[in-house]
Amino acid sequence: MEIKHFTIPIFVPELACPNQCVFCNQRKISGQIKIPTNEEVREKIEMHLQTIPTENRFIEVGFFGGNFTGIEHNLQKQFLEITDEYYASKKIDSIRISTRPDYINAERLQFLKIYHVKTIELGAQSTDDEVLRLSERGHTFSDIQTASREILANNFRLGLQMMIGLPGDTFEKSLQTAKDIISLNAHETRIYPTLVIAESKLEKLYLKGDYKSLSLKEAVTISKELLLLFEENNVKILRMGLHPSEELVNNTGFIAGPFHRSFKELVLTELWKDLLKNIVNNDLKDELTVYIPVNQINYAIGYNGTNKDFLLKIFKKVNFKIDEKLTKREYYVEYH
C-alpha cells in the first residue's frame, strides 16, 4: 500500500528577515504575524495528529515563514526540542525548515542535525541576479549555489523554491531558474506566481505603473512548462500557487496578480488539454470514451469541465473512465 505523506505546518513569520522583499507582506499572505508560543506549537501538532491515520503514513513537521535559521537561537532551540520529542516517540517521522540562502553555514547545519531536521527548503525565488536585485532579496545566485552545496554535503534533503513574474523576470529567466534548480540537485521545489499584496513595496510599484503582474493565463502557461521540465528531471513539485489565506480569498490583502484558489488544477487542466488536442474525429463517430489514470481524472476532465467541453465540440457525447492499470498521464480512447 502506498505511503501517504502529511506535513504539519508551523508558521514562523518574517520577523527574522534582514530586509523586506518587494513582494512580501507575511501578514496578508499567511493571515498570521505573531510568533507561536511553545504551547501553540504543541497544540497544532496534537490537533493534526488526531486527524492523521496511524498506518501507512509519513508525518513531518514543517517550520515555514522564510527564515527559520535567522530567528533568535534560543527560540529555534525551543521549537526543535518540541518536535524532537515527537520524533523520539515516533509520532512524527521528520522535520523540515524553510530559510534564506544567506542564512546557511556549517554551524547552523550542525545545530539542525542535532534535532533531526531532514529537509531544508531555501527561498531561492530566482537565480537571475538582476531579478534578485530588483526584488530586494538581499542575496545572490552565488549564495544559493553555496548554501545548496553545503546542505547536500551534510546529507539534508534540499528544496529550492522559485517565483515567477518577479520584477525584471521573463519566461526565459524563469526557465533558467528551473534549470539551475535541477543542476543544483534539488530534490524538490515549489512554484509561486508573484502576487501584488497590500502594504508591500510591490504595491507601490504596481500603482505607479512600474510593475506589471502576470495574467492568470501567462502564469498557468509558464508553470506548465516548468512542471514538465521538473518532472523530466525527477524534481518533486510540492506546490504550485500560494495557499489561499483568508486575506487573499476575501481580497482584503490581494491587489493584483495571478491568484486562483485552484491554481494547480488550472495548470494540470492545461497540460491535459495539450494531450487531448491529439484526439480528432477522423471516422466521424458520435461518442468518445477516454480512459484515464485514477489520480488524473479531474485534471483530464478539466477545471469546471473545460477539457470535456472542448471535446464536446468534436463529439456529441464524451465519457471519461478510470483504468487503474494506467499510470502518470497515460490514456487511450475508444470511439463508438
Choose one of 214, 234, 260: the last residue of a domain.
260
Range of the domain at 227: 4-260
**Whether residues 331 and 200 fall in one domain:** no
**Whether residues 273 and 248 fall in one domain:** no
**Whether residues 251 and 286 fall in one domain:** no
**Whether residues 77 and 159 fall in one domain:** yes
Write out the three cell numbers for 284.
466521424
Q: Report the predicted TM-score, pTM, of the whole model to 2 decimal places.
A: 0.91
Contact (Cβ atoms closer than 8 angstroms) between residue 237 and residue 189? yes
Fill in the amino acid letter for 302: G
**Whether residues 141 and 282 fall in one domain:** no
In angstroms, the Cα distances linking 107 to 39, 42, 110, 143 are: 28, 27, 5, 16
Choose one of 204, 233, 260: the last residue of a domain.
260
Contact (Cβ atoms closer than 8 angstroms) between residue 171 and residue 135? no
Per residue of the chain (336 residues), give pLDDT as tens: 678 999 999 998 765 566 678 887 755 444 456 789 999 999 999 999 999 988 889 999 999 987 899 889 999 999 999 999 999 999 999 999 999 999 999 999 999 999 999 999 999 999 999 999 999 999 999 999 999 999 999 999 999 999 999 999 999 999 999 999 999 999 999 999 999 988 889 999 999 999 999 999 999 999 999 999 999 999 999 999 987 654 555 566 788 999 999 999 999 999 999 999 989 877 778 999 999 999 999 999 999 999 999 999 999 999 999 999 999 999 999 998
Q: What is the CATH number of the domain that holds 85?
A: 3.20.20.70
Choose one of 225, 260, 295: the last residue of a domain.
260
Q: What is the pLDDT of residue 35?
A: 85
Fill in the amino acid letter for 73: H
Q: What is the pLDDT of residue 28?
A: 47
Contact (Cβ atoms closer than 8 angstroms) between residue 238 and residue 188? yes
**Whether residues 84 and 219 fall in one domain:** yes
Q: What is the pLDDT of residue 20?
A: 72
Q: What is the pLDDT of residue 322?
A: 97
**Whether residues 82 and 180 fall in one domain:** yes
Between CA 291 and CA 323 the distance in angstroms is: 6
**Whether residues 164 and 297 fall in one domain:** no
Contact (Cβ atoms closer than 8 angstroms) between residue 306 and residue 273? yes
Q: What is the pLDDT of residue 31?
A: 46
**Whether residues 17 and 147 fall in one domain:** yes
**Whether residues 286 and 209 fall in one domain:** no
Q: How many domains does the chain have?
A: 2
**Whether residues 188 and 99 fall in one domain:** yes
**Whether residues 242 and 304 fall in one domain:** no
Between CA 66 and CA 192 the distance in angstroms is: 14
Contact (Cβ atoms closer than 8 angstroms) between residue 139 and residue 100? yes
